[in-house]
Structure 1
């Protein structure tokens, strides 16, 4: 039973890291889910209260970092709310339309189309917004990746 527990925990962590680049997967929740699986199979008391406090704060930080990095990237490059929404929709749809590279092409094209359609922006300004969306996404993946590594490292340090 112990082996099954560790396989499920590892699976949660792996899915969590895959979720960094596939926004449909709630990465942070899978990482946190690994901790819950540990508690269910072993003992929640093995993980002290301060561990749960820190991990919940990291979980909140992950959700905030995701939204903030994308918004920052689009806004920094002169994009609008429409560009931000287009980028977000492109981020979700892109990987399904163009596997693998759709994760970068989707937000780029989404931001450009939204800027042109809703704000009547020039192509030059729309492309800048698209570049900002990609910069925001890459920044978000990097930031969330570091936070998730710290979360998992803290888990293994405590267990």
Structure 2
């Protein structure tokens, strides 16, 4: 049963990392599901209350990092709320409209269009907002990936000791 538990857990973790590329996939839910499925299939004995407290703090950090990175990226380059919303919509739609490249192009186009249409910003400012959305997304991507790796590393540490 332990082998099956590890296989299921690893599959959950892989799906979670796919959520970095396809933001419609809730990464944190799949990581937590991996922990819970491991406990259900193998044993919850190693997953102490300290483990769960640490993981909950990382979940909060994940949500905060994601929101903050997009906000700072767009705002730093002079974007408005419309630019932030356009970037978010582009991030969700882009990967499905333009596979692979859409993850980068979608937020950029979304932010630029939102600035042009809603905020009626000039082309130069709209393009700067688009660049800011890319910076925010890439910062978020790296930060979330690092936090997810830490969560998994802590899981392995608790299970291994």
The verdict on a shared fold, with TM-score over 0.5 as the criterion, is yes
- Counterparts in 2 of 1:1-159, with a 5 A limit? 1-159=1-159
* SS of match in other structure, 1:52: helix
Unpaired runs of 5+ in structure 2?
Answer: none
| In 2: Cα distance, 1:70 partner to 1:96 partner | 20
Deviations 1:101-151 (A, max 9, x none): 000000000000000111110000000000000100000010011111111
Shift of 1:16: 0.9
Find the aligned partners of 1:22 and 1:29 in 2 and give their Cα distance.
14
RMSD (CA atoms):
0.8
Which runs of 4 or more aligned residues in structure 1 lie more than 4 Å from their structure 2 counterparts after TM superposition? none
Number of residue pairs the alignment of both structures matches: 159
Q: Distance in 2 between matches of 1:119 and 1:153?
A: 44
SS at match of 1:20: helix
Q: SS at 2:10's partner residue?
A: helix
